[in-house]
Chain A
Amino acid sequence: MNRATDQGIWIESDAPLADTPQWSIPLRLVRAVVEGETANLGCVSPLLASNLETIRDIYAAWIPGHQIPLSFELSSNAAAPGKGVSLFFSGGVDSFYSLIKHREEVENLVLVHGFDVPLAETKTFALAEAQARDAARLFGKRMIVARTNLHWEESRMYVEQPRIPCSWGMYQGAALAAVAHVLAPCHGKVYIASSFSYTELHSWGSHPLLDPLWSTEALQIVHDGGEARMDKLRVLVQYPEALARLRVCWQNLGNYNCGLCEKCVRTMLALRALGIDHCAAFPDTLTPELVRQQGLSHDSAPFWRELPYLSLPTAYQAAVKSAIHSFDVGLPSRTGRWKRGVKRWLYAARNAGKALASPIDPS
């Protein structure tokens, strides 16, 4: 097992790791933007150096943080581009789609323990790893497993200083870049599967604007795609062996996909709309009541809106519409219970009151 460490953060893997400290530049830069202190980045490749200011400005606007001064030296000896192409692979819709799209080119799948699955949760990760290994074997790729305390160490840091708002969603792009750079001996190009379509871009740590800026002369980082999640699923359903290994759930309840969380529900709905009534990766939990109860967020609502709900059975159509409607009008979702009905009335009255009561108007 090889291991790279920097200021309490470590990444380890069976694969060979970089022997230069450059890999931690993304982490140091984001931390400095958050904390408002000069970033000491050490030795930086000329290509990355030319993009550092843009990265800083974007993160400063998004987190929101500080346009801190950057302190670094240019590394003179430009490293030769590495060989090999990798893809970050969590087993979700995005990573399976990018694997299928670039199956000719991709050689390694990188699965990270410590991102969505906590390090302590070995049971869930063993499941995820077994399925990812199966997928890698099916597509004839090499599997690289990395373990890191990146997510949980950084989260702890920000919990201790609650005035610093940098969520995992914002941080993950830098974390992926760091893992890509630490694995530099394994590849010269790394694909990061896109999270959101070009239509739904918003401030998010992994972004078509941001990811490629972390590239160096030796390692090109590519943000792949920008297709809608539904279009990706349309491709995926043609590969039953991929479908059976889909892992979308972040709940870590010990089973593969819980079948109850918002992400599971929307993925099952999408599969149902595409004519897949039963998928081995999900338990058989989908009911119209479950759909109607889902509380959507700004991040998840776009995925619900692109569901081709007219292809769903009638009861599900109504439930999908109801869930989206509840989100749009700012009311709690319907559960079918009278208590929730009363709560919705109270919320509606409160919203109307708030709208009519203008903020302090001295005139």
Chain B
Amino acid sequence: MNRVTYNGIFIESDVPLTDTPQWSVPLRLVKAVAEGEAANLGSVSPLLASNLETIRDIYAAWIDGGHKILLNFEVYSEAAAAARGVSLFFSGGVDSFYSLIKHQDEVENLVLIHGFDVPLADTKTFELAETQAREAAHIFGKRLIVVRTNLHWEQPGVPGGWAMYHGATLAAIAHALAPNHGKVFVASTSSYADLHPWGSHPLLDPLWSTETVKIVHDGGETRMNKLRIVIQYPEALARLRVCWENLGNYNCGLCGKCIRTMLGLRALGVDRCAAFPDTLTPELVRQQELLHRSAKVWRDMLCPSLGPALYAAVQSAIHSCETSLPPRTGKWKREIKRWLYAMRNSGKALMSPIEHSGRHEVQP
């Protein structure tokens, strides 16, 4: 087992790891932007050095209270030769399976990380995930690289949390694994039409590249279009892992992510998928409290093959989200609550903020 460490953070793996400390530059930079102190980045490759200011500006804008801090670094002159090989970060979800299928001729290694979505202590869930990933790697003829890290649980207090920080951690792991590849694919999270400040982003990911490791943010297709491709590979579908609940079973079938994926599959005519328990009911769907952001993803799934009951339930969930009302549960108490919310919302709308004249003004 090889291991690199920086400031209490470790990354370990059976495969060879880098011997330069450059891998931790992303972590140091984001931490410094969040804390507002000058970033001491040490020795940085010329390509990465030319992009550091842009990265800092983006993170400074995206992180709540981020600072355009000073960057201290030296540019090292001798450019190392890039290793051969192409890797893909592989969690087993829709995005990573899609990128694997799309680049199956090019990708050689799948990188599975223990310590991101699955806590290090949860070995049982990770064993399940690893077994399935190994089988997927076997089926597609790829090598599986397993990495263990405490990056997630030791993360600094970056506002926006893991959502903002994880892009930098993926870059750090890509650089730590430098002897194994010259190019790493990061499967996209959102479609091009749905971009928002997020740690892994088509604008940000490629900026972490060096002369030796090129980081590629792959895709920008909608989740439904990705699923359309993935369902043509039943052996991939049976190994789909989308759930972050770590309840010991593979996919819980009850969380928002599971339900969204099961609905997507149903919309595409896949009524039964071995990776999910049989939990999908209209009641469960209607009760989902959506984020405003994800309403668009849900709208993509509205199609007649859902059947009338599920279709109406999806519509109801989207509608509740868009009108800022609590979702329907079918209970009369909730209906009353929705009435009260609607009244409160229109009252709030009509009451303008401080409309009175200056003499009553209280300076906040």
Q: Does B13 have its Cβ within 8 Å of any Cβ on chain A?
A: no
Taking A199-B197, A226-B57, A334-B352 as contacts, is the C-beta distance between A352 and B316 under 8 angstroms?
A: no
Contact present for B355 and A318 (CB under 8 Å): yes
Do A330 and B354 have beta carbons less than 8 Å apart?
no
Given A201-B195, A310-B364, A348-B350: A322 touches B203 (CB 8 Å cut-off): no
Q: How far is A354 from B320 in the complex, measured between Cα atoms in Å?
A: 11
Is A363 a contact of B354 with CB atoms below 8 Å? no
Contact with A314, one of B58, B282, B328, B361 (Cβ below 8 angstroms): B361
B356 cross-chain contacts in A, Cβ below 8 A: 318
Whether A363 contacts B57 by the Cβ 8 Å rule is no
Tell me which residues across on chain A come within 8 A of B349, comparing CB atoms.
329-331, 348, 351
Binary interface profile of B, 84-125, with partner A (CB < 8 Å = 1, else 0)?
A: 000000000000000000000000000000000000000000
Chain B residues within 8 Å of A61, by CB: 191-193, 220, 222
Within 8 A of B (CB), among A325-347: 325-326, 329-331, 334, 344-345
- Interface flag for A58 (CB, 8 Å): yes
The distance in angstroms between the C-alpha atoms of A20 and B325, with both chains bound, is 58
Q: Which residues of A contact B232 (CB under 8 A)?
A: none
- The smallest C-beta distance from A251 to any residue of chain B, in angstroms, reads 28
The minimal Cβ–Cβ distance linking B209 to chain A, given in whole angstroms, is: 14
The contact of B312 among A202, A228, A359, by CB within 8 Å, is A359
Q: Which residue of A lies closest to B339 (CB)?
A: A356
Distance in angstroms between the alpha carbons of A351 and B325 in the assembled complex: 12
- Whether A57 and B192, one on each chain, are in contact in the complex, defined by CB atoms closer than 8 angstroms, is yes
CA distance A339 to B146 in the complex (A): 68
A198-B57, A359-B316 known; A329+B192 contact, CB < 8 A: no
Q: Shortest CB–CB separation between residue B106 and chain A, in angstroms?
A: 14
A318-B354, A345-B350 are contacts. A199–B342 as well, Cβ < 8 Å?
A: no
Shortest C-beta distance, A60 to chain B (Å), equals 8
B193:A62 contact, CB within 8 angstroms: yes
B244 within 8 A of A: no
- For B219, the closest partner residue in chain A by CB is A57
Contact of B353 among A198, A227, A315, A321 (CB under 8 A): A321
Q: Which residue of B lies closest to A321 (CB)?
A: B353
CA distance A322 to B354 in the complex (A): 8
Inter-chain contacts of B61 with A (CB < 8 A): 197-199, 226, 228
Residue numbers in B under 8 Å from A228 (CB-CB): 61
- Chain A residues with a Cβ closer than 8 Å to the other chain, count: 44
* A79 in contact (CB, < 8 A): no
- The A-B contact count (CB < 8 A) is 111
Interface size on B, residues (CB 8 A): 46
- Whether the Cβ atoms of B352 and A322 lie closer than 8 Å is yes
Interface string of A203-233 (1 = CB under 8 A from B): 1000011000000000000000011100000
Instruction: Judge whether B353 and A355 touch: CB under 8 Å.
Output: no
Chain A residues with CB below 8 A from B62, complex form: 198-199
Rounded to whole Å, the gap between the CB of A55 and the closest CB of chain B is 11
B358 & A315 in contact (Cβ 8 Å cutoff): yes
- Per the 8 Å Cβ criterion, residues 52-107 of A in contact with B are 57-58, 61-62, 64
Bound Cα distance from A122 to B345, whole angstroms:
49
Chain A residues closer than 8 Å to B309, beta-carbon distance: 362-363
Query: Given known contacts A344-B350, A349-B346, is B358 in contact with A314 (CB within 8 Å)?
Result: yes
Q: Which residues of A contact B355 (CB under 8 A)?
A: 318, 322, 334
Contacts A360-B312, A360-B315, A362-B308 given; does A355 touch B193 at CB 8 Å? no
A160 at the interface (CB under 8 A from B): no
**In the complex, which residues of chain B have a beta carbon less than 8 angstroms from the beta carbon of A330?**
349
Distance from B335 Cβ to chain A, minimum over Cβ atoms (Å): 9
Known contacts A201-B196, A202-B195, A334-B355; 17 further A-B pairs (Cβ under 8 A): A57-B221, A203-B193, A226-B57, A314-B358, A318-B353, A318-B355, A321-B353, A322-B352, A325-B353, A329-B349, A348-B346, A348-B350, A351-B345, A351-B349, A355-B323, A358-B328, A359-B315
Binding site for B on A (CB under 8 A): 57-58, 61-62, 64, 197-199, 201-203, 208-209, 226-228, 310, 314-315, 317-318, 321-322, 325-326, 329-331, 334, 344-345, 348-349, 351-352, 354-356, 358-363
Q: List 9 A-B residue pairs with CB atoms under 8 Å apart, sorted by A's residue number.
A: A61-B193, A64-B193, A201-B195, A201-B203, A317-B361, A318-B356, A331-B349, A348-B350, A358-B328
- 8 shortest A-B CB distances, which residue pairs? A329-B349, A355-B323, A61-B192, A198-B61, A61-B193, A348-B346, A352-B346, A314-B358
